[in-house]
């Protein structure tokens, strides 16, 4: 469910001062694209798909940071947001890279996914479109568990997939804190916060069984690791403040307008969409 949205919000500080960054270095001699990595406190945490737009999606874990949550605006987030909050944006603007952001307040019901499991996007939906890279001989492996939160068709030839990626594996979470959030008698789960990237990806040629454009919205969790695990464990909905960096993602401002519309629809899988098509 989409609760609130804003586009073209200016946030952030100079890249050297930001806690979370996706640097954009010049390509090395003889290469077409530079590496694309998400860093947290100057340490590379995830390898991302390349900048080309025809490569498959990727968020491959490189390292685990010592501290996952940034621990900002805790009181407001624990109480739960009813709309995009200017004070919360101001606080997170002090740790984000300077950019224009599309800000979404979502309600999601996360499901924990293990690599190579029946619900793993990289093993299933991605393979049906890109096939398996013959140089590797296997599907992409994110090297970490992650959460699936939403998917729906954008158009007949494009489909939105949404993932929530914790900075550290859920097994690192404090079990007692997760239990506290999971206790329904305590109240709501509050709001989590993520730095998000929207990529529009499609192979240059049709090599897989189902050729279409993948809209991949990836939320990298900044705060709320314990809340999200509790929501996944209990099957409860939780609110997510998504800060989508318009400068870094492989999407245009008009694409983000389409995303907002798509995010207001009901959840539907690619298989359900294909069965419903005339």
Q: What is the pTM of this model?
A: 0.94
Report pLDDT digits (tens) over 46-81: 999 998 899 999 999 998 887 767 777 778 898 899
**Tokens 């298989």 belong to residue:** 271
Mean pLDDT for 89-96 is 94
Report pLDDT digits (tens) over 110-147: 999 999 999 999 999 999 999 987 777 889 899 999 99
Contacts of 86 (CB under 8 A, 6+ apart): none
Counting residues of the chain whose pLDDT is more than 70, the rounded percentage is: 97
Domain count, the chain: 1
**pLDDT bracket for residue 188 (50, 70, 90):** confident
Per DSSP (E only), the strands in 171-237 are 191-201, 213-223
| Burial letters 68-101, b for 16+ CB under 10 A, else e | bbbebbeeebeeebeebbeebbebbbebbbebbb
**Could you give the CA distance from residue 229 to residue 215 in angstroms, rounded to a whole number?**
25
More confident site: 242 or 172: 242
More confident site: 188 or 143: 143
CB 191 within 8 A of CB 73: no
Range scoring the smallest mean pLDDT among 53-57, 128-132, 184-188, 195-199: 184-188
What is residue 187's predicted lDDT score, i.e. its pLDDT?
Answer: 65
Structural domain including 238 reads 2-276
Mean pLDDT for 188-205 is 93
What is residue 185's predicted lDDT score, i.e. its pLDDT?
Answer: 58
Please give the mean pLDDT across all residues of the chain: 91
Backbone angles phi, psi at 154, to 5 degrees: -95, -40
State the DSSP code for 209.
Answer: S
CB 226 within 8 A of CB 186: no
**pLDDT bracket for residue 186 (50, 70, 90):** low
Counting residues of the chain whose pLDDT is more than 90, the rounded percentage is: 71
Left if phi > 0, otherwise alpha if psi is -120 to 50, otherwise beta: which for 50?
Answer: beta
Which residues is 107 bridged to in the sheet? 239
Mean pLDDT for 179-184 is 86
Residue 219 predicted with pLDDT over 90: yes
What is residue 198's predicted lDDT score, i.e. its pLDDT?
Answer: 98
What is residue 109's predicted lDDT score, i.e. its pLDDT?
Answer: 96
More confident site: 134 or 102: 102
**pLDDT bracket for residue 276 (50, 70, 90):** low
The angle formed by the CA atoms of residues 37, 38 and 44, to the nearest 5 degrees, is 80
């Amino acid at each position: 469910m989409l609760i609130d949205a804003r586009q073209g919000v200016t946030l952030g500080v100079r890249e050297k001062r930001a806690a979370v960054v996706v640097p954009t270095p010049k390509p090395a001699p003889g290469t077409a694209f530079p590496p694309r990595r998400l860093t947290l406190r100057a340490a590379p945490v995830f390898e991302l798909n390349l900048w080309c737009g025809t490569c498959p999606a990727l968020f491959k874990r490189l390292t685990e940071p010592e501290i996952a949550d940034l621990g900002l605006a805790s009181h407001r987030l624990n109480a739960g947001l009813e709309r995009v909050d200017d004070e919360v944006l101001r606080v997170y603007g002090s740790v984000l890279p300077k950019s224009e952001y599309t800000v979404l307040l979502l309600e999601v019901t996360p499901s924990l996914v293990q690599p190579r499991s029946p619900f793993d996007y990289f093993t299933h939906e991605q393979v049906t479109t890109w096939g398996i890279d013959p140089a590797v001989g296997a599907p992409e492996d994110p090297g970490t568990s992650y959460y699936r939160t939403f998917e729906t068709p954008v158009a007949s030839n494009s489909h939105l997939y949404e993932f929530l990626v914790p900075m550290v594996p859920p097994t690192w979470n404090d079990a007692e804190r997760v239990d506290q959030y999971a206790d329904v008698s305590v109240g709501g789960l509050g709001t989590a916060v993520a730095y998000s990237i929207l990529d529009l990806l499609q192979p240059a040629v049709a090599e897989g069984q189902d050729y279409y454009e993948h809209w991949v919205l990836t939320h990298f969790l900044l705060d709320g690791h314990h809340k999200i695990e509790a929501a996944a464990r209990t099957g409860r909905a939780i609110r997510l403040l998504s800060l989508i960096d318009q400068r870094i993602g492989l999407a245009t401002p008009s694409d983000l307008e389409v995303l907002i519309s798509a995010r207001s629809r009901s959840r539907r899988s690619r298989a359900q969409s294909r069965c419903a098509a005339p």
